[in-house]
Chains A and B, each alone.
Chain A
Amino acid sequence: MDFILQPWPWYVSGVLIALVMLVLLLVGKRFGMSSNLRTICSMAGAGRASEFFRFDWKSEQWNLIVILGAVIGGFIASNYLMEPNYQIVLNPETVSNLQEMGFNNAGETYLPTELFGIESISNIKVLAILLIGGFLVGFGARYAGGCTSGHAISGLSNLQRPSLIAVIGFFIGGLVMVHLLFPLIF
């Protein structure tokens, strides 16, 4: 039991993610998390605005159940499988880089309170960061036809060239954000 409560090493997590992909394939589905966003848009009536959302969303209900499960899994893990005051063991260089950008106590909480603390939402800049970041994730995932799970894990596992191009794109975007834009934003 103690092992479960400790932070999981990367090789354990990697195996478990592959297991999720395998089980989804065996039940006749695919490992792709971003499709639920399109399903929700369609459910909410976006089909009136674009043909892209005109499909039988009921046939895609399974991915809504999976994300409902992901919410419950997050609740169980954070409340019962993690020590209170859980800390993320970051590279000391990461901690000092973040300190310079105004992120104090990096790693002492699961997410930086400067961005995700409930009181930070009243800050218009933080609100804009979260909204724009989310927008880019949703827009980019649909444009590229998949996200980390669909391209970086299942697509690359199938040795698909499009997924390799998409993952190169993910990294170009991530590197530009962290190295060129973070100094301007934070």
Chain B
Amino acid sequence: MRQLLYLVIGIFFGMVMMKSEAASWYRIYEMFEFKSFHMYGIIGVALGLGIIITQVIKRNQIKSIDGKLIEIAPKERSVSRYIIGGICFGLGWALVGACPGPMYTLIGAGYWSILIVITGALLGTFVYGLLKDKLPH
């Protein structure tokens, strides 16, 4: 039952990624060229509502359907890991025009070459796991 719920959330998310054009390489390119408001509008609205949702959940101590208090664990303090990791991510995001959610959406839309991007992303994750202790965090 719970599995079905996750599946429905995923299906909805995939449809939104496709229909919002957030899964389009062109839209990501245009965003970094500052030639369109589209992506900034999407992220801005999602973030604005997200801040309200998060504040309401915290202040009212809302519980999840398991009856547990919804807590968002703070990320560990650091600058280097977020800035260096973030730059790597941004370089890749702009190059292939897809972040980890839309990549899967694009398989469903029939763009088989995205499988190469996903292979690369898995390799990148694996290499991070190998180098983790040697990288500045």
Once A143-B85, A154-B50 are accepted as A-B contacts, the answer to whether A178 and B132 lie under 8 Å apart by CB is no
Chain B interface, number of residues (Cβ within 8 angstroms): 113
A window 44-74: CB within 8 A of B: 46, 49-50, 52-53, 62, 65-74
Q: Tell which of A13, A131, A145 touches B22, judged by Cβ atoms closer than 8 Å.
A: A13
Contact check, B111 vs A111: say whether CB atoms are below 8 A apart: yes
A158: which B residues are within 8 A, CB to CB?
54, 72, 74
- CA gap between A154 and B127 in the complex, in Å: 26
User: Does B106 lie within 8 Å of A74, measured CB to CB?
Assistant: yes
Contact between B89 and A144, CB atoms less than 8 A apart? yes
Knowing A77-B19, A77-B109, A135-B123 are in contact, say whether A37-B25 is a contact too (CB < 8 A): no
Q: Is the CB of A127 within 8 A of B116?
A: yes
Flag if B11 contacts A73 (CB, 8 Å): yes
- CB <8 Å contact, B35 and A136: no
Residues facing B in A16-33 (CB within 8 A) are: 16-18, 20-30, 33
Which of chain B's residues have a CB closer than 8 A to the CB of A25?
Answer: 53, 57, 64, 70, 72
> Are the C-beta atoms of B25 and A73 separated by less than 8 Å?
no
Nearest-neighbor residue (CB-CB) of B123 within chain A: A135
A94, B35: Cβ atoms closer than 8 Å? yes
Given contacts A20-B16, A69-B11, A90-B30, contact A163 B50 (CB under 8 A): no
Given A70-B105, A74-B107, A121-B113, A13 contacting B20 (CB threshold 8 A): yes
Most chain A CB within 10 A, of B6, B74, B77, B130, is at B6
Q: Which positions in A face B, CB cutoff 8 Å?
A: 7-8, 10-11, 13-18, 20-30, 33-34, 36-38, 40-41, 46, 49-50, 52-53, 62, 65-78, 81-82, 88, 90-91, 93-94, 97-98, 106-107, 110-112, 115-118, 120-121, 127, 129-149, 151-163, 165-179, 181, 185
Residues of B at under 8 Å CB distance from A?
2-3, 5-33, 35-39, 41-51, 53-54, 57, 62, 64-66, 68, 70, 72, 74-79, 81-101, 103-114, 116-130, 132, 135
User: What 3 A-B pairs come out closest when comparing CB atoms?
Assistant: A69-B10, A169-B86, A73-B14
Known: A38-B129, A76-B11, A129-B96. 17 other contacts (CB 8 A): A10-B38, A13-B46, A21-B50, A41-B126, A62-B2, A88-B27, A132-B95, A136-B92, A140-B91, A143-B89, A144-B89, A149-B100, A169-B83, A174-B94, A177-B91, A181-B91, A185-B95
